[in-house]
Amino acid sequence: MVVGGHGGNGCVSFRREKYLPRGPPNGGNGGGGGNVVFIADPNKNSLHGLTYRLEAKSGRNGKGQDMHGPRGKDLIIKVPAGTVVREITDLSQSKLGSDHHHTEDTVDPSDGALYRLFQQVEETRRLESENAGYFVHYPKWEDRNTVNHIVFPEQYQAYIRQLKDHEPFNIDLAAPGQEVVVARGGIGGFGNPYFVTKDESAPHYALRGLPGETRLLELELKTIADAGLVGMPNSGKSTFLRAVSNAQPKVAPYPFTTINPYVGTITYPDLFQLRVADIPGLIPGAHRNIGLGLTFLRHIERSRVLVFVIDLSKPDPWNDLEVLRHELECYSPGLSHRPSLVVANKADLADTARDNLNRWHQMTDMSIVPVSALHQKNISKVLHVLRSMVSEIKEGL
């Protein structure tokens, strides 16, 4: 939930001087509330550490002697580049909620918590619209002031209109440095000098500040990588990423070691860099979300080149490639045709791997690069091919 800071109230006050007991009005305006701002930061890799309620500071109230209240401080939140921000106006629209699972890289409270948050937002909105107390009154003047005829300042009206009819967000913070105000701070109230007219030289009222915008947002990190490692669990994707990049994802001899995408950077000798995402393993049925498949498929969608990592020591490794392609295609038609290369891993496991490779070569003209990620054999061949593929795509953009 994001909440803009409350606007400070305007002040009702009059100048007091020794020989001038009822001086002109001099109440300051309230400061506007701070905004909640998201900014895409290329150095952030996950949404960890974000709290469920992000609230900017309120503006201060105006004071006598024409002292305007200072604006509330903005709350600036750095999110990873590639974060998609969606506003939830109706729980059934929630993309993540409907996947019935929760990953660590998304701010995605359990269904119950999500529902409660949603109710809170609705409640806040209701109170805002019912809160008719727009005015601050001079002490004991509540009953004497007649404010029904007062026309609100245009800025104030505009803010109220915008609170009522804003379009729900759906923003892709893809570009580093891109920023968006996700909840605006409320406008500050006007002090009593604003209401001076020729008939009313001493208004005994001022305007209250208005609440900031309150919104319920859903954040999803869609990793943008040059290449994504796509493979069955345990095929050696993480081992491969460790071998080629600065990243140190966990490697273990069992499936689903990797449960969150992990992005590593490969630096070539001439300092050219590529970002490679280690994506959790896919299994048959992933497009129906089996094995948390949908979350992982989303990350694949954002990789320019797909690197299929296939365990060459298993029987019929080519079947794995077909299963993976099928899952990609079912998730997003056309995805399986994205530029790709096949890394046949565990080529060091002698007998089966060599036979498999020979048979595979006979079956297809596709380029299949045998490697041993574990022993770092033939890795440079993959890096060479990968670089030329990515460069070609980038030049074409």
Ligand X SMILES: Nc1nc2c(ncn2[C@@H]2O[C@H](COP(=O)(O)OP(=O)(O)OP(=O)(O)O)[C@@H](O)[C@H]2O)c(=O)[nH]1
| Positions in the binding site for Mg ion (CB under 5 A) | 238, 257-258
Choose the one of Mg ion, ligand X, none that binds residue 33, judging by a C-beta under 5 to 8 angstroms depending on kind. Answer: none
Identified binder of ligand X from the candidate list 253, 269, 333, 334, rule CB under 6 A: 253
What is the Cα–Cα distance from 273 to 365, expressed in whole angstroms?
29
- Encoded one letter per residue, x for contact with ligand X by CB under 6 A and - for no contact, window 349-378 reads x----------------------xxx----
Does position 264 interact with ligand X (CB under 6 A)? The reply is no
Q: Interface with ligand X includes 109 (CB under 6 A)? A: no
Three-class secondary structure of residue 262 per DSSP: strand
How many residues in the chain? 397
CA gap 118, 111 in Å, rounded: 10
What is the C-alpha end-to-end distance of the chain, expressed in Å?
A: 37
User: Under DSSP, is residue 390 helix (H, G, I), strand (E, B) or coil?
Assistant: helix
Q: Does 248 contact ligand X by CB under 6 A?
A: no
Using alpha carbons only, give the angle 306, 307, 309 rounded to the nearest 5 degrees.
Answer: 140
| Two structure tokens written together for 239 | 């081992």
**Which residue's CB is nearer to Mg ion, number 9 or number 46?**
46
Q: How many residues bind ligand X (CB under 6 A)?
A: 24
Q: Is 251 in the site for ligand X (CB under 6 A)?
A: yes
**Phi, psi (deg, nearest 5) at residue 176:** -55, 135
Residue from 323, 348, 354, 357 touching ligand X (CB under 6 A): that is 348
The residue (of 124 and 265) whose beta carbon lies closer to ligand X is 265
Is residue 4 within 8 Å of residue 212, measured between CB atoms? yes
Q: What is the phi/psi pair of residue 108, to 5°? A: -145, 80
Binding-site string for ligand X from residue 228 to residue 247, where x marks contact by CB under 6 A and - marks none:
---x-xxxxxxx--------
Query: Strand pairing of 75-80 and 36-41?
Result: parallel
Task: Report, in Å, the least distance between residue 296 CB and Mg ion.
Answer: 11
Q: Which does 260 bind (CB under 5 to 8 A by kind): ligand X, Mg ion, none?
A: none
Residue 341 and residue 332: Cα distance in Å, rounded?
19
User: Which CB sits closer to ligand X, 26 or 234?
Assistant: 234
Question: Can you read off the two tokens belonging to residue 9?
Answer: 């109230």
Minimum separation from the CB atom of position 68 to ligand X (A): 57
The piece of 87-95, 174-182, 251-259, 283-291 that touches ligand X (CB under 6 A) is 251-259
Minimum CB distance to ligand X, residue 256 (Å): 5
